Amino acid sequence: MALLAGKSHSALPRLAAFCSIACLLFLRGGDASGAITPGGVWFDNRGQQIQAHGGGILKIGDTFFWFGEDRSQGLDPNKRYVSCYASKDLVHWTFRNQVLKLSDPENFGPGWIIERPKVFYNAATKKYVLYAHIDDGIYKVARVAIAISDTVDGDYRYVRSFRPLGLESRDIGQFIDDDGTAYLIFESRPTRGFLIARLSPDYLNVEKQMSFVPARLEGGALVHYKGLYYVIGSHMSGWSPNPNVYATATSLEGPWTQFKDIAPPAAKTFHSQSSTLLTIPGTKTTAVVFMADQWKPDDLWDSRYLWMPLRIGEGQLVLPEPRPWSIDIKTGETKY
């Protein structure tokens, strides 16, 4: 307050406005400079906080489409939504649609949920296929839900829910291999592990188990990088963060190495949980981006996103300490 001595009171509103703008810029997940700030508030083109929790990204042409849980409606069981945003640079996002709007389609009860939506494009059928975890309020149903659309950001039609390969399924992830084959990653609690399974040709079913990973992990994500498969998972600690871990294999069928921490254990993955590993192949290098959620269980709508390029190669995977960073989509180069 001493700095204001002798100043007119008219300076106070200007100072307050300056501080508000400065704080807002500091906290933004993406800003005008082209930087992504892990853990910051991320706004879309409307100035609204992005609602794409537990999500994934599908690239069509030169555009990235980000799908995720819309938690803005709180616990209203009649308003379970999946949102879609579009971007060409991974920084500035345009809201496209609430692509899936559901009101308890399977009569699971008032606490029912839909989580971790992921979208695949099937070139043979020319359909966009959305997978998600669907469940009742106490997580006993344990199924995947499927919805389809003719357009990437159109209204998706709910098809059905089922247990993949007859097994319980909660957290899910997606993976598309270099040859275009699509896979679902899902956590199956009674088997004390998670599975990687190939989708059917039309993507409307899960047809073959490729690998069973005997580790009690959720939030599964997978990437194929320079001849090795890297799988990431989160320990089971509810909404609380924990040290996420990774393992490698030369084949999706394994065998997988022992799991190792992706960051110092005490950091608890910098208070985040894995969701997706996004590959950005460029003219100079290939970036692999760790996409994670920083959950706020009391205000899920305000949960944040921690995105950070990984240091990866020769069987090693490291999540650096989060800081603002940028990426050149054409070259694949990242700076932080």
pTM as predicted:
0.91
Structure tokens at 54: 């537990």
- Residue 241's alpha-carbon distances to 27, 39, 103, in angstroms, are 21, 14, 30
Handedness of CA 238, 28, 114, 67 (dihedral sign): negative
Query: What is the predicted pLDDT for the residue at 32?
Result: 62
Closest CA to 69 of 90, 89, 86, 84: 84
Strand boundaries in 27-126, DSSP class E: 53-60, 63-70, 80-87, 94-102, 113-122
Biggest CA–CA distance in the chain, Å, is 76
| pLDDT in 10s for each residue of the chain, 336 residues | 333 333 333 332 333 333 333 344 445 677 667 899 999 999 999 999 999 999 999 999 999 999 999 999 888 888 999 999 999 999 999 999 999 999 999 999 999 999 999 999 999 999 999 999 999 999 999 999 999 999 999 999 999 999 999 999 999 999 999 999 999 999 999 888 999 999 999 999 999 999 999 999 999 999 999 999 999 999 999 999 999 999 999 999 999 999 999 999 999 999 999 999 999 999 999 999 999 999 999 999 999 999 999 999 999 999 999 999 999 999 999 999
**Which sequence spans correspond to the domains of the chain?**
30-335
What is the assigned CATH class of domain 30-335?
mainly beta
